[in-house]
Amino acid sequence: MARLFRIIDKTPAVYIPVLLMTAILLCGFVPGCRQAPGSITLDDIFNHGELTVITRNNVHSYYIYRDQAMGFEYDLAHAFADSLGVRLNLITADQWENMIPSLSQGKGAIIAASMTITPARQKQVTFSDPYMEVRQYIICHRNNLSINDAKDLAGKTVHVRRGTSYQDRLEAIKAQGIDVNIQLHDDIPTQELIRQVAQRDIEVTIADSNIALLNRRYFPNIILAGPISEKQYLGWAVNHNSHQLLERINTFFKKIKTNGKYTEIYNRYYADLDFFDHFDLRTYHRRIKTRLPLYEPIIRKAAKKHGLDWRLIAAQIYQESHFNPGAESHAGAFGLMQLTHTTADSLNVDNIMNPQENIDAGVRHLKNLYDYYDESKDPERLYLALAAYNIGQGHILDARNLARNMNLDPNRWASIAKTLPLLRFKKYYKNAKHGYCLGTEAVEYVRQIMIYYDILKHQGIAYPAGYPWVRGL
């Protein structure tokens, strides 16, 4: 570059503007040349030992639960920071529209906020390879039978957040001749608009499929009336000149999708989204208001005593008895946590139908099982304990042995969820120590509890401004 400027010194004036422009263009490709204002390079990240990620406080990106940072985007970003060997620094945008300007100003290196890749945004930032496929859906109350697809939005008022891909899509629909009234809101979360639809405060909103399906659990009165977009994709955003950082992000996504880490994180937040029983979930939401409060103090006390989350125990109790203290099963299980007399006797229970004794014994039993599977990591350790509570340790032992024979990891729930259902076939159970097992029931048991648990956890999510390591933009 210095040589180029020496050449300029000896060049006729008419050619100097051309050479200067060449020098400016080359600067972007020469190592050591100063980067564009606001750009954070991969070298900057390594030099500071810190990856700064811009995101949002919501149920899909980042939130606090029981004083722990959580969220799909948070977990992905944390895994990426770990892969670089640097610490993660999270900053949260006060408004959705602030994220891209903040990236341009150098306040962060990456935007990780479930952002849809759109042509308009690609003019401002560069996106990573896509990591999730979504479609935009019309969200309305389940009793609203007048809306099924985009053309039914004519004459309707659709509420969306300003600056989103939802607004872009609705404007495109309007340009096609469908007279939809677009009501824009400044920085209101999509989840809040979905809640307003469920409460019939507004008639219609739009949401990406991952957001819509998850919120259907929390608000079972809403339906996904129909898609209004083709497939779209989510990606992380970086500044246009962050070439090396972009390359590392894309390599990271390829790696975690190959080694199973992405699936592990995805399932932590979005598992079983397609499973939905409207009647069951409506009943559950009603009973956590009417029946759960009767036993919540006992559940909290027992869970705290044994180091478990009381919401998990409440979810398990609902699966076992629907909060009915007088429940009796055909298999000889009793009370809120459906204890057998054998289990109750082993835990010195005097009155199996007494709610306090029943809950305390059930929680002790679950904790004993949890302690037993200490070779597994959470949340899989918890899944194994729950399955054993439902179907017995003997059948779990058989399923683990079968997993070993099939070259599967016996400490992973994914393995046991495959082998347990096989134990209902003679080909497999004839060599099992504990014989025939209706393993599909145990897998369903765990899945259902985790859905109920997720709904209760959602009520405890916090989005604190000024949390110690979170800086607002």
pLDDT band (50, 70, 90) for residue 214: confident
In a domain, 287, yes or no: yes
Is-contact 161 191, C-beta < 8 A?
A: no
**Does residue 2 surpass a pLDDT of 50?**
no
Does 317 lie in the same domain as 293?
yes
- From CA 251, how far away is CA 245, in angstroms rounded? 10
Helix (H) or strand (E) run with residue 101 in it: helix 99-104
Task: Summarize the chain as % helix, strand, coil (round to 5).
Answer: 50, 15, 35
16-31 confidence digits (pLDDT tens): 444 444 444 444 444 3
Is-contact 381 374, C-beta < 8 A?
A: yes
**Does residue 7 surpass a pLDDT of 50?**
no
Does 128 lie in the same domain as 266?
yes
In a domain, 471, yes or no: no
In a domain, 64, yes or no: yes
Active-site hit among 73, 320, 357, 380 = 320
- From CA 137, how far away is CA 209, in angstroms rounded? 6
Q: What is the DSSP string of 167-191?
A: HHHHHHHHHTT---EEEEESS--HH
pLDDT at 18: 47
pLDDT at 37: 55
Does 212 lie in the same domain as 96?
no
In a domain, 469, yes or no: no
Does 353 lie in the same domain as 434?
yes
63-75 confidence digits (pLDDT tens): 876 667 888 999 9
**Does residue 5 surpass a pLDDT of 80?**
no
**Does residue 460 surpass a pLDDT of 80?**
no
What tokens were used for 28?
A: 């972007």
Does 244 lie in the same domain as 295?
no
- From CA 369, how far away is CA 402, in angstroms rounded? 20
- From CA 214, how far away is CA 211, in angstroms rounded? 5
Residue 192: give the domain boundaries: 136-230
Helix (H) or strand (E) run with residue 207 in it: strand 204-208
| Cis peptide bond prior to 379, omega within 30° of 0 | yes
- From CA 232, how far away is CA 165, in angstroms rounded? 10
**Does residue 434 surpass a pLDDT of 70?**
yes
Check residues 53 and 188 and name the one with the higher pLDDT: 53
Of 16-30, 45-59, 254-268, 348-362, give the lowest mean pLDDT range. Answer: 16-30
Does 3 lie in the same domain as 52?
no
Does 296 lie in the same domain as 443?
yes
Per the listing, tokens 């199996």 go with 352
**Does residue 3 surpass a pLDDT of 50?**
no
In a domain, 126, yes or no: yes
In a domain, 27, yes or no: yes
Kindly report the number of other CB atoms within 10 A of residue 358's CB atom: 28
Does 393 lie in the same domain as 295?
yes
In a domain, 206, yes or no: yes
In a domain, 65, yes or no: yes
Of 174-188, 189-203, 262-276, give the lowest mean pLDDT range. Answer: 262-276
Does 152 lie in the same domain as 94?
no
pLDDT at 189: 84
219: three-class secondary structure by DSSP: coil
Q: Is the whole-model pTM more than 0.85?
A: no
Minimal CA–CA distance to 384: which of 102, 376, 130? 376
Alpha carbons within 13 A on the beta-carbon side of 113: 26
Number of domains making up the chain: 4
CATH number at residue 159: 3.40.190.10
- From CA 270, how far away is CA 289, in angstroms rounded? 25
pLDDT at 375: 94
**Stretch 383-400: mean pLDDT:** 94
Does 168 lie in the same domain as 147?
yes
The percentage of residues in the chain with a pLDDT greater than 90, rounded to a whole number, is 67
Active site residue 320: yes
Looking at every residue in the chain, the average pLDDT score rounds to: 87
335: left (phi over 0), alpha (psi -120 to 50) or beta: left
94-133 confidence digits (pLDDT tens): 888 889 999 999 999 999 999 999 999 999 999 999 999 9
Which of 215, 230, 245 terminates a domain? The answer is 230
285-302 confidence digits (pLDDT tens): 999 999 999 999 999 999
Does 259 lie in the same domain as 159?
no
pLDDT at 42: 94
Does 244 lie in the same domain as 216?
no
CATH number at residue 368: 1.10.530.10
pLDDT at 33: 43
